[in-house]
Amino acid sequence: MTRDEIFRTVVLQVQAVLPELPEAAITEQASLAELGASSIDRVEVSIGAMEAIGLALPLTALAGISSIGELVDRLAQHSP
């Protein structure tokens, strides 16, 4: 999966968890916490994206991420 495809996958997961968020707010620079996601919401996004990509990483592999772009980078590192 290309990095751009992974970004689009993450956007879909964010929209599923926070359906009222305008799509334009979901940028590479945005932080999920600042967009109103709780800690569990953020894990929902990560796990939903992993499943959509076909990855089964331990969540420690996604530790220390602060922006959507960093999540996309981290998923891209492991993407088949």
Partner 1 sequence: MTRGLQRVVVTGIGVLAPGVADAADFEKFLKRGQTALRPMRGGEWPGLPAGSPAARLEGFDTLARLAALPAQARRAGRGGSRALVAGLATGLAALADAGLDGPASFGTVVAGSNLAQTRNLSAARKWIEQPEWTPPGQAHEVFDTHLGAVLAEAAGLQGPGLSVGAASASGNTAVAVAADLIALGRMPGCVVLAPPPDLSPVEWQALRSIGALAPPGQACRPFDAATAGFAPGEACAALVLESLDHARARGARIRAEIAGHGQAQQARRGTAPDAASALAAMRQALAMAGITARQLDQINAHATGTPAGDAAEIRALQQLLEGAKVPVNATKSLTGHAIQGAALIELAAVILQMELSFLHGTAGLAAPIAEDLRLVGPEGIARHESRWALSAAHGFGGLATAVVLRNGAEIA
Distances (CA, A) of 76 to 44, 55, 59, 67: 18, 10, 15, 14
Residues in binding contact with partner 1, number by CB under 8 A: 14
**Contact call for residue 47 and partner 1 (CB under 8 A):** yes
CB of 34 to partner 1, least distance (A): 16
**Contact call for residue 65 and partner 1 (CB under 8 A):** no
Question: CA-to-CA distance for 48 and 74, rounded, in angstroms?
Answer: 14
What would you measure as the largest C-alpha separation in the chain, in angstroms?
A: 31
Which residues are near partner 1 by CB under 8 A? 17-20, 40, 43-44, 47, 50-51, 56-59
